[in-house]
């Protein structure tokens, strides 16, 4: 039995919390030799390694149609990021002026979703070998999308 304490005023939700729109579910996880944020490059193109993207069993059928050599976009949940940061010194360099996080690729932001353009190197049962990927070991994956056409920098 749970007794609701009506005597206590409920804590007023913060502005950020009031706008909840949905829950992300892990569809997989990154298995990488990178174990900490400190050792990870800031972007994939800055010397990031390859890693396995292990897809959870329920989501395996959603991989059908992907092939080795495909360029894909992986969306991750940057689980070690801070969500209360609105401005940063870009690249963690204090000599760069404070900048809004929406004008940077800082992992610290209201919704820490990571965006990684990678190539599929190998396909196994419910897993993809991808590179280059700067996400650290254990990072949850929330979506995979094909690159639509051409060569993209982002």
Binding mask 48-87 for a second copy (x = CB under 8 A): --------xxxx-xxxxxx---x-xx-x-x-x------xx
Please choose, out of 30-38, 130-138, 146-154, the segment that lies near a second copy by the rule CB under 8 A.
146-154
Encoding tokens for residue 56?
């959870």
Does 127 contact a second copy by CB under 8 A?
no
Does 126 contact a second copy by CB under 8 A?
no
Please choose, out of 31-39, 100-108, 130-138, the segment that lies near a second copy by the rule CB under 8 A.
100-108
Q: How far is the CB of 92 from a second copy (least distance, A)?
A: 16
The distance of Cα 148 from the centroid of its chain, to the nearest Å, equals 20
What's the 3-state SS for 108-151?
CCCCCEEEEEEEEEEEECCEEEEECCCCCCCCEEEEEEECCCCC
For residues 50 and 143, which CB has a smaller minimum distance to a second copy in the complex? 143
The dihedral over CA atoms of 54, 64, 133, 101, expressed in degrees to the nearest 10, equals -100
Q: How far is the CB of 30 from a second copy (least distance, A)?
A: 12
Among 68, 102, 124, 138, binds a second copy (CB under 8 A): 102
Q: How far is the CB of 16 from a second copy (least distance, A)?
A: 5
Cβ atoms of 18 and 11 closer than 8 Å: no
DSSP state of 62: G
Question: Where do the DSSP E strands lie in 27-126?
Answer: 28-31, 51-55, 71-77, 87-88, 99-100, 113-124
Cβ atoms of 29 and 54 closer than 8 Å: yes
Give the residues lining the site for a second copy (CB under 8 A).
1-4, 14-17, 19-27, 43, 56-59, 61-66, 70, 72-73, 75, 77, 79, 86-87, 98-105, 109-113, 115, 117, 140, 142-154
């Amino acid at each position: 039995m749970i007794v609701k304490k009506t005597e206590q005023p409920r804590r007023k939700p913060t502005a950020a919390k009031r706008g909840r729109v949905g829950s992300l579910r892990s569809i997989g996880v990154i298995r990488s030799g990178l174990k900490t944020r400190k050792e990870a490059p800031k972007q994939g193109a800055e010397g990031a390694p390859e890693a396995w993207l292990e897809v959870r069993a329920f989501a395996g059928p959603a991989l059908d149609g992907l092939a080795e050599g495909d360029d894909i976009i992986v969306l991750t949940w940057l689980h070690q990021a801070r969500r209360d940061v609105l401005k940063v010194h870009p690249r963690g360099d204090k000599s760069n002026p404070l900048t809004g996080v929406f004008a940077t690729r800082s992992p610290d932001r209201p919704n820490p979703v990571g965006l990684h353009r990678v190539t599929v190197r190998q396909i196994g049962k419910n897993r993809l070998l991808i590179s280059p990927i700067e996400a650290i070991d254990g990072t949850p994956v929330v979506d995979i999308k094909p690159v639509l056409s051409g060569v993209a920098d982002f």
